[in-house]
Structure 1
């Protein structure tokens, strides 16, 4: 009876065989397998060897890989070694493990998912990494909000609104699939700070509550979100939309949480809130 890793290998070998029959180049086949299998994709050299073997007519998908590597195995020694390597680098790929361990990618995948209970997921985008003081400040604010609204009607949560400005890129700077990591069910994925790269982008001011997005306002190209822009463009549109979504209460009792930036702290902005 074929093992799980043997079945896994048969699938991608069969894919290579069919694409080879269609005269697809090895580099294109490797690219397609990367998109399908992600970190479980065989190495480029392995794909090229199988393509060459299929073209010569001397290989079958059930054959051992013509690489001269050791036979695959999910023994306890390999399990312990792979676990230690993953603990050192959660973003290590199956290809990297395959090169270090000299066992099949299918066996490595079986050890990671079945024996060790890992799953490969993408990293989580975050605006930036927070310092310890910033995390503590957020915790204190959250506790105050919980105390204020602990026994209140859930409808009162609509009184809370938050927002700020953010860059919206026309394209993702780089794929977060490159930051995939192995995690167990009780673990969180790696966090990826957004890169400050010089790509086409536009500044947006966005405000939202627990029920809806209240404001999405783009800033004119080449202009910054200054106190003047905030008071003349953001606030009027924000108040207008609040009154639209809450015609009875309007802005009464509304609590707006904003960042401590220069445009928000300016005298012009503070006087406009009064």
Structure 2
């Protein structure tokens, strides 16, 4: 929810007689992940007590940001979506506006930030949120309809980084009174890591794939994992010979590429939105 919408809710709490503590508790209950802080609620309560009736941003002094226009916002959105690895200077040169204006557009208007050298949305878009709601409701409906059958057919996957060392916990590093600290080799933080793709169902892990050093998970690589998944399911889950597995995957680029969708179609899958059921046979 946006800041302007929260201001309206804060005004509603003020008008019905809730104090700041009760208003904060009410907002936390209904919006636990994005509710405003105590100081913001108190500031707006003070504004309303002084007679303020609107919840809009106050006029600010200074030179207006003439470069931040709807046309430039649309232009930069297209540029970033076409190439997420663009630098601020490159975007500024191409759009003929300053780097500060470009950053304002990316940060305030497009809600994007730099992550791993790529511009990505800071928050989920309304479409992405709705896709997750639809997927969750679909799975919940299937679970309620036949709980046993759902868990027999449900298969999912995820990727995770595995480091080449195991950091020592605080309990492990604790020294008993009267004993000297044991000598151990220095942990090399830069020892490296490997990407693991884990496929599992309600019973156990089906298989784990470790990405070779120097390679990346692209559509071609992921398609081979789907072929392997198909073989493993036929081998380890013979009860799925007649009923299709319910395969759930996220919306990573290689998972939703055209080549991957074609492969899923070849495996007699049903195309579905990210985080929704995809049947493979």
Instruction: Tell me the TM-score range normalised by the shorter chain.
Output: 0.3 to 0.5
Larger radius of gyration: 1
TM-score (norm 1): 0.40
TM-score (norm 2): 0.39
RCO comparison, higher one (Cα < 8 Å, 6+): 1
